[in-house]
């Protein structure tokens, strides 16, 4: 016996029990998410229903936006049993062709979004299929689809083969169609409709605010009808698909891309695969690293990949193209907040596009509404990513954390008691979500600081408006107090002067007081700034942007 080898205890089960390695099995990604459905947002009855509606509505919005169509989306929720509902979501989008419907709605990690470097609401190709799976495991029923595309209407049922992660599609019929659009219908169990702040109605309201070009209808259980009309008649500009920026690439990704490239030379691969890479940059790299740029990219070693990534970090690069990111827009947010929330004061800030992680462009927009018809909402936070509401997991989100760090009293706002709504939207080609549920944004330093700067800028505008309102209110109180004594003062003056009438004196004094305070109020209104300037520092030792 080798003395260097550990001894096996006499009572060991090794060799006497069955070999546990026989239990080794492969599992599909669909089986994984079936067992871990909470990772997709199916972790509570209300949240599960909201997640289902979220997935279909965002898919409809993306499809319409990509084809320049003003979205008309209708959501129907029919109660068919205890915690059991039939969901129907229809849109006027382009529909889906027959050859991709099955994979789009019945296969995990299949779709048009994951591999494209552009701003989209969805990113992973999991959500819609996750809903198909959830219908199966809670009711056993397939997913029914009507797709009107290119003059044809296809009717089919879809299930997910959880063992193989492949779609099981049964075609029911095909016919001519004079319209276009997609309707999905399925039955779901273990879900619940309510009107809480996490429910479907609140989700659709928040979606409508960030998508003022969309019309969204909801038919709720009990045949209750809600409609969020569009506030603008122009479809948003379509973001352009771009190539990844060199500063955002990792060693592994660089090597993987190189090995799958069809370019004959490494230099050609770099210029063709990345934005801002030019022959001039190849020349600059040649001066600082010993790598053969004439060899095939398929021959790129890990060592050379490391050299390239380190060298790339040393060069100066132009920022990535900014037309890949399309924010909602200041005017659109203002119109939408006024249309749906109708606050007394609104201040919206649209920041310039910034870069995080070296090469990923993003933009932050913030709108603050105060008073008016939002008086019942105390310090509400509306979080968005690419126009999509983030309803859950706020405690781990960069937006919520940035809001917590702000000293709101400096802006005369109390988030615990005041009627305020803080709207924050992040637009990017790649939103750094915390998990597969896409409900929280990672605390990346550049992103969180930019959110904080934008909120402070918007809060300054609200502070000015509140200060003006309070000053006008104070002047109104002073005027009212003075007018209270006008009658007695007029009578006394008439008696002392022994001339003139009390009524004439009262009219003249009233005119003097009203003219004085009206002039002050008009002066305050004319002094109102159009908006607070970007990068403006806080007065008297307040917070400043970094």
Select the more confidently predicted residue: 167 or 146: 146
Final residue of a structural domain among 314, 334, 364: 314
pLDDT of residue 494: 74
Please state, in angstroms and rounded to a whole number, the distance separating the CA atoms of residues 391 and 380: 12
* Statement to judge: residues 295 and 395 lie in one domain: no
Q: Find the range with the poorest average confidence among 247-261, 296-310, 479-493.
A: 479-493
Residue 71 pLDDT class (50, 70, 90 cuts)? very high
Q: Which of 70-79, 335-344, 423-432, 532-541 has the lowest mean pLDDT?
A: 532-541
Average pLDDT over residues 35-41: 70
Q: Output the pLDDT for position 378.
A: 84
CA distance 332 to 351: 14
Of 228, 255, 284, the one marking the end of a domain is 228
200 and 85 both lie in a single domain: yes
Query: CA-CA distance, 490 to 504, in Å (whole number)?
Result: 8
218 and 265 together in one domain:
no
Residue 453 inside a domain? The answer is yes
Predicted confidence at residue 395, as pLDDT, reads 87
Q: Do 298 and 387 fall into the same domain?
A: no
324-340 mean pLDDT: 92
Identify which has the larger pLDDT, 84 or 396: 84
- Structure confidence at residue 538 (pLDDT): 40
160 assigned to some structural domain: yes
Question: pLDDT over 70 for what percent of the chain?
Answer: 81
Q: Is the pLDDT of residue 117 over 70?
A: no
Do residues 280 and 426 both lie within one domain?
no
Asked whether residue 435 falls in the same domain as residue 300, the answer is no
Residue 166 main-chain phi, psi, to 5 deg:
-120, 150
Whether residue 507 lies inside any domain: the answer is no
H-run or E-run covering 447: helix 445-484
Do 121 and 199 belong to one domain? yes
Least confident segment among 56-60, 280-284, 317-321: 317-321
Task: Say how far apart CA 155 and CA 135 lie, in whole Å.
Answer: 18
Query: What average pLDDT does range 215-237 have in this prediction?
Result: 94
Residues 250 and 343 occupy one common structural domain: no
Same-domain pairing of 212 and 154: yes
Residue 404 pLDDT exceeds 70? yes
Higher pLDDT: 275 or 32? It is 275
Length of the chain in residues, anyone?
A: 546
115 band by pLDDT with thresholds 50, 70 and 90 = very low
538 belongs to a structural domain? no
Task: Classify strands 360-370 and 345-350 as parallel, antiparallel or unpaired.
Answer: antiparallel
Let me know whether 301 and 446 are in one domain.
no
Tell whether 392 is covered by a domain.
Answer: yes
Sequence-distant (≥ 6) Cβ neighbours of residue 215 within 8 angstroms: 70, 71, 72, 73, 227, 228, 229, 230
Residue 138 belongs to a domain:
yes
Model confidence band, residue 311 (pLDDT cutoffs 50, 70, 90): very high
pLDDT at residue 545, as a whole number: 37
Q: How many beta carbons lie within 10 A of that of residue 56, not counting itself?
A: 24
* CA pair distance 414, 431, nearest whole angstrom: 30
Last residue of a domain, one of 267, 294, 314: 314
Instruction: With respect to residue 161, please indicate whether it lies within any of the assigned structural domains.
Output: yes
Decide: 210 and 389 in contact? Cβ < 8 Å. Answer: yes
Tell me how far apart the alpha carbons of residues 77 and 221 are, in angstroms, rounded to a whole number: 6
- The Cα 89–Cα 381 span in angstroms is 27
Question: For residue 482, is it within any domain?
Answer: no
Among 38, 59, 58, smallest CA distance to 48 is for 38
- Alpha-carbon distance of 457 to 174, in angstroms, equals 55
Element (H, E) at 522: helix 502-526
Q: Strand 72-81 to strand 215-220: parallel, antiparallel, or no bridges (unpaired)?
A: parallel
Q: Give whole-number Cα distances, 473 to 203, 413, 517, 528, in Å.
A: 37, 18, 11, 16
Query: Chain-centre distance of CA 461, in angstroms?
Result: 23
181-189 and 84-91 as β-strands: parallel, antiparallel, unpaired?
antiparallel
Mean pLDDT to the nearest integer, 277-284: 93
pLDDT at residue 542, as a whole number: 40
**Given a cut of 60, is residue 296 above it in pLDDT?**
yes
User: 341 and 397: one domain?
Assistant: yes
- Average pLDDT, rounded, for the chain: 83
Residue 405 has pLDDT above 70, yes or no: yes
The contacts of residue 301 (CB under 8 Å, 6+ apart) are 255
Q: What is the domain-level CATH number for residue 148?
A: 3.30.565.10
Overall number of domains in the chain: 3
Q: Are residues 327 and 266 in the same domain?
A: no
Give 3-state DSSP helix, strand, coil % of the chain, rounded to 5.
40, 20, 40
**Residue 295: which CATH number?**
1.10.8
What is the band of 91 on the pLDDT scale with cuts at 50, 70, 90?
Answer: very high
Q: Give the domain extent around 148.
A: 30-228
Worst-scoring range by mean pLDDT, 72-86, 279-293, 365-379, 467-481?
467-481
Helices (H), 88-199: 98-106, 127-139
Confidence of residue 532 (pLDDT cuts 50, 70, 90): very low
Lowest mean pLDDT across 40-49, 86-95, 307-316, 505-514: 505-514
């Amino acid at each position: 016996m080798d003395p260097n080898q550990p001894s096996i205890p006499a009572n060991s089960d090794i060799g006497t029990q069955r070999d546990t390695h026989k239990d080794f099995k492969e599992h599909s990604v669909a089986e994984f998410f079936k067992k871990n459905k909470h990772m997709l947002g199916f972790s509570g009855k209300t949240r599960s229903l909201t997640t289902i509606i979220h997935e279909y509505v965002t898919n409809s919005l993306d499809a319409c936006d990509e084809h320049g169509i003003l979205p008309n989306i209708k959501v129907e929720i029919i109660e068919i049993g205890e915690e059991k509902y039939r969901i129907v979501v229809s849109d006027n989008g382009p529909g889906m062709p027959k050859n991709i419907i099955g994979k789009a709605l019945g296969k995990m990690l299949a779709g048009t979004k994951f591999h494209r470097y552009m701003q989209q609401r969805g990113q992973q190709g999991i959500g819609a299929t996750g809903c198909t799976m959830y219908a199966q495991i809670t009711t056993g029923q397939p997913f029914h689809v009507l797709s009107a595309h290119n003059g044809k209407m296809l009717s089919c049922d879809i299930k997910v083969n959880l063992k193989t992660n492949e779609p099981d599609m049964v075609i029911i019929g095909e016919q001519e169609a004079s319209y276009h659009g997609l309707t999905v219908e399925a039955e779901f169990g273990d879900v619940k409709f309510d009107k809480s702040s996490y429910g479907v109605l609140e989700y659709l309201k928040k979606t409508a605010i960030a998508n003022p070009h969309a019309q969204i209808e909801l038919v709720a259980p009990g045949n209750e009808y809600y409609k969020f009309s569009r506030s603008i008649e122009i479809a948003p500009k379509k973001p352009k698909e771009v190539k990844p920026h060199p500063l955002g690439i990792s060693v592994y990704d660089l090597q993987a891309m190189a090995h799958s490239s069809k370019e004959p030379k490494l230099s050609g691969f770099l210029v063709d695969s990345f934005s801002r890479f030019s022959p001039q940059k190849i020349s600059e790299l040649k001066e600082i690293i010993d790598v053969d740029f004439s060899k095939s990219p398929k021959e790129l070693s890990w060592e050379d990949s490391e050299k390239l990534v380190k060298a790339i970090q040393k060069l100066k690069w132009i920022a990535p193209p900014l037309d890949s990111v399309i924010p909602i827009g200041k005017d659109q947010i203002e119109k939408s907040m006024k249309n749906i929330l109708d606050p007394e004061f609104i201040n919206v800030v649209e920041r310039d596009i910034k870069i995080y992680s070296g090469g990923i462009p993003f933009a932050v927009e913030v709108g603050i509404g105060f008073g008016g018809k939002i008086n019942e909402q105390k310090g509400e936070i509306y979080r968005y990513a690419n126009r999509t509401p983030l309803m859950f997991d706020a405690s781990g989100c960069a937006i919520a954390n940035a809001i917590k760090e702000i000293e709101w009293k400096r802006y005369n706002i109390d988030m615990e008691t005041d009627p305020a709504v803080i709207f924050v939207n992040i637009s990017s080609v790649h939103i750094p979500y915390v998990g597969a549920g896409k409900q929280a944004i990672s605390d990346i330093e550049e992103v969180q600081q930019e959110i904080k700067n934008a909120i402070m800028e918007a809060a300054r505008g609200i502070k000015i408006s509140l200060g003006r309102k309070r000053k006008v209110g104070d002047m109104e109180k002073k005027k009212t107090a003075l007018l209270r004594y006008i009658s007695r003062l007029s009578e006394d003056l008439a008696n002392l002067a022994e001339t003139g009438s009390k009524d004439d004196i009262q009219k003249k004094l009233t005119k003097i007081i009203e003219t004085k305070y009206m002039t002050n109020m008009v002066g305050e209104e004319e002094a109102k700034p159009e908006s607070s300037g970007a990068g403006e520092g806080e007065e008297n030792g307040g917070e400043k942007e970094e």
